[in-house]
């Protein structure tokens, strides 16, 4: 019940933000591209060892990224390509952020790579299992939003390295959770 109220409140806020964008003729795909560009700027700030500002930029980017789907639904411009574009740009953003963190020597590149692999597998498993007929596979403790919030939270205080460790562990736990659920549904 509380979670449903929370979702309704968030949906209301998003719709209030999106209404002026819809009136101005902004398209959902434009918002998707803007979200990616902002995430790439955050990744670059990590490369420059500017954790705090990278976190602020990623927070703004993630808020903007949440708007494209709402805008698409409100304007009746949902499309399979839009969903594909959003998902693809999310993967680019995830990889760029971890690359920026590693390239900025904020975490060992091997840890960043393992975290990157776990994060990608979380998304891949969902897509592959759903295509195989598992039904919706939105299970696990660390989907993209949670992983991003962890990185942002740790980076705000200058500890993004520990955020990467935590995201890596949680991503791999999620991989195992999804594998188990897919096995149960597809066997």
What per-residue confidence (pLDDT) applies to 3? 55
Q: Does the pLDDT of residue 2 top 80, yes or no?
A: no
Give yes or no for a contact between 134 and 182, defined as CB atoms under 8 angstroms apart. Answer: yes
| pLDDT, tens digit (0-9, with 9 covering 90-100), for 20-72 | 888 888 899 999 999 999 999 999 999 999 999 999 999 999 988 888 888 88
Residue 79: strand, helix, or coil? coil
Separation CA 19–CA 14 (nearest Å)? 9
pTM, two decimals, is 0.89
- Catalytic residues, which ones? 90
> Is the model more confident about 31 or about 19?
31
For residue 41, give every residue at least 6 positions away whose Cβ sits within 8 Å of its Cβ, in sequence order, or none.
57, 61
| pLDDT, tens digit (0-9, with 9 covering 90-100), for 84-121 | 999 999 999 999 999 999 999 999 999 999 999 999 99
């Amino acid at each position: 019940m509380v979670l449903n109220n929370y979702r309704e409140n968030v949906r209301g806020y998003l719709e209030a933000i999106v209404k002026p964008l819809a009136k101005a003729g902004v398209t959902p795909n434009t918002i998707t591209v803007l979200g990616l560009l902002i995430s790439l700027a955050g990744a670059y700030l990590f490369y420059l060892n500017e954790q705090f500002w990278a976190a602020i930029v990623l927070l703004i980017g993630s808020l903007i990224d949440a708007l494209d789907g709402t805008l698409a639904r409100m304007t009746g411009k949902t499309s399979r390509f839009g969903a594909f574009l959003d998902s693809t740009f999310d993967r680019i953003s995830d990889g760029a952020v971890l690359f920026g963190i590693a390239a900025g020597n904020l975490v060992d590149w091997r840890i960043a790579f393992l975290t990157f692999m776990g994060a990608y597998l979380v998304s891949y498993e969902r897509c592959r299992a759903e295509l195989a007929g598992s039904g919706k596979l939105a299970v696990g403790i660390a989907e993209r939003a949670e992983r991003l919030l962890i990185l942002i939270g740790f980076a705000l205080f200058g500890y993004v390295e520990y955020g990467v460790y935590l995201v890596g562990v949680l991503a791999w736990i999620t991989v195992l959770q999804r594998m188990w659920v897919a096995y149960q549904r597809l066997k």
